[in-house]
Structure 1
């Protein structure tokens, strides 16, 4: 009888232990900004503590490896339960293996900005939840411009002249990311679009102007050839150290600049182009795997979608809120960050087709080839135009 009672007590203890076990949800992201990593971990910790049956585990994958690793995991049926996906990659990855349909599961999505939802909407259904949005702006070193008698450039002619005037042995007027990553398109497309260029007609005159502008600036010594190996994070570090005078970047760079060099006086303005000045809309989207854990993952997304909670965390990330009503209230006492709200309204969306990543890689490699002068620019553009035409024909 004693043995029986002990045995039953042991069973109850095992059952209680089993009942307390949490369902583990894996989340992948590629944010390399330390503050963003910390803020994400804080949100996850808050969620993990507020309920007893779900445990979110966060994994950081470097940006240059993220898309490749995620695509491989999806093909092997090992996708993380939640993935932070760049908006420009969303439909490419969804085309490989469909993400979970969130349309009816998260009612708050109906309040999100249409521009934020467009990359993750297919045939009227929503397959992702925008986390935050952003756009490209021009950062400039106020002291460098003032010392050289320069105004903030508003046209490409003024931009080229300003970059030349503020360049010297220690400082390059401008640098742009020219790696084969989506970051390069985030910075280059505003130049291409504002000049009337088109990604499907890059060998034509208007598109050619955008490539030749940067090529000429490199020859003049006002554009750093280091661009072919710089990430946007590297650009930020070069800018805050006073090594470059102008860069194109997102609002997320502002806190890094202020923390890295509190004494640096800088401004933010629309990217040059006069009446046709344009920016590129970007941002991250939370994608949920279509698996047996999706209901648990969706609970975390609903936690993030709560309007009051979003108001609390979104500013800390440096993102613009994917909800227009919250975005309008952001950064009331921060003019540099608030500038991005107006720019986002006029920002264009990169192509969101499954073919875009291949087009993007071709464009960024074209820019690299022109800057390092592998061949005559027109020859490079003609060859790249043929590649892009073939990709487009596969739609």
Structure 2
């Protein structure tokens, strides 16, 4: 999640979940973009679909795709759509057997698509891990000898895995952390909070007329769920059973911040961009957000900011944050040649050199552990995110394709508890009913 256009999920996708399963299953899930012969010589171009629109920060993708295409001996026909349009377009293309040769998906959407048979397992194109394509130099793309996944952590690989098979790889990933205004904390004599108790105290001391101490995105979308997950998971809560004391204590923290006046009730309507705007304007001293906000923060020379791990219930424990980002996949088609070429391009996107270059362009974390460590040394503001990614959890890890129901239950509970309609315990009991499909 997620991040925006790297956002963790979109509420449109939640509404489309059941429809996707039916449409893709009925369609047979096989694309027909290639057709014809299976000789590699017949595959001279590939179609690529993502939701990286024409924003300047996404121009690197166009260049990288073209370069990887040249190495695979194909011309890239690259199409981008707005984030909310990707899943509906995949539905339409699946039903008409016109899926692209290479498809990008938010990692939380992968299992829903993979279970229909629309995607090819990446070991179809050779064994994973033991690639002999020279990928460690960053100069070669995936080949029939395998796609190189060496040094990709198990957690990141799981983001592209369904039913024990890897269907997608992420060149980079993201998560969230605590951003804070250095001047405001210094003026108030407040240390950077590391625990929930410290967060409550710091937010209260930083709050004054015209300024709140803390801000989160608590809106009624998957983005609100994404921001709550570090608090839920770090306290031992689990989306597979939401009506627990651990989950209630996490939600109580947010309720207390709002009730005490340390956090605005407007968080119920803010998305992550809104939270950033409040922080940049000096209307909140701290916020939860992702590294994709760093370029805008750096552009404001008057703003002195820092970044720290998301506060945890008890001192000394690492936060458990959600793993965001997109995975690249190879849809099935009736052309083996096109699939092989697409796999080569996918392998190229995930070489060490490209993971670092793309992560630097997007202010995210390279998916290869060794590359990420070097990247953090060169980019200190990213070190918190690199460390958090090590323990980050994939949103679909516990529930798989049932994740959207749980996510809907969570953001519904957040809305109900923060508005005072229900206690955290009551709200989470209803959330559990939503998560299990029992309704209200």
Q: When the two structures are superposed, what TM-score results if normalisation uses the length of structure 2? A: 0.76
Alpha carbons 1:160, 1:217 under 8 Å: kept: yes
Equivalent-residue separation in structure 1 for 2:227 and 2:148 (angstroms): 29
Structure 2 regions of 5+ residues with no counterpart? 1-40, 126-141
- Matched residue pairs, number? 371
How do residues 203-222 of structure 1 correspond to structure 2 at under 5 angstroms? 203-222=243-262
Measured against aligned partners, the alpha-carbon deviations of 1:196-246 in whole angstroms (never above 9, x if no partner) come to: 222233222221111122122112222222222322233223222222221
Counterpart in the other structure of 1:13: none
Equivalent-residue separation in structure 2 for 1:38 and 1:225 (angstroms): 37
Measured against aligned partners, the alpha-carbon deviations of 1:62-91 in whole angstroms (never above 9, x if no partner) come to: 3x4444443454355443433322222211
Equivalent-residue separation in structure 2 for 1:308 and 1:347 (angstroms): 23
Correspondence for 1:27 among 24, 31, 49: 49
Q: Choose between structure 1 and 2: higher helix proportion.
A: 1
Counterpart in the other structure of 2:365: 320
Correspondence for 1:43 among 51, 57, 64: 64
Structure 1 regions of 5+ residues with no counterpart? 1-18
Equivalent-residue separation in structure 2 for 1:369 and 1:346 (angstroms): 30
Q: CA deviation at 1:337?
A: 0.9
Correspondence for 1:265 among 297, 304, 326: 304
Measured against aligned partners, the alpha-carbon deviations of 1:235-293 in whole angstroms (never above 9, x if no partner) come to: 2232222222211222222122112x122111111111123341222221112221244
How do residues 1-395 of structure 1 correspond to structure 2 at under 5 angstroms? 23-29=45-51, 34-47=55-68, 53-62=74-83, 64-105=84-125, 106=142, 107-111=146-150, 112-259=152-299, 261-273=300-312, 274-278=315-319, 279-291=321-333, 292=335, 293-352=338-397, 353-390=400-437
Equivalent-residue separation in structure 2 for 1:311 and 1:202 (angstroms): 37
Q: 1:31 to 1:90 in 2, by over 3 A?
A: farther
Helix, strand or coil at the partner of 2:432: helix
RMSD over aligned CA atoms reads: 2.8
Alpha carbons 1:142, 1:265 under 8 Å: kept: yes
Alpha carbons 2:406, 2:431 under 8 Å: kept: no
Alpha carbons 1:218, 1:225 under 8 Å: kept: yes
Alpha carbons 1:171, 1:242 under 8 Å: kept: yes
Bigger shift: residues 100-109 or 20-29: 20-29
Equivalent-residue separation in structure 2 for 1:182 and 1:276 (angstroms): 26
Q: Choose between structure 1 and 2: higher strand proportion.
A: 1
Counterpart in the other structure of 1:10: none
Helix, strand or coil at the partner of 2:286: strand
Higher gyration radius (CA): 1
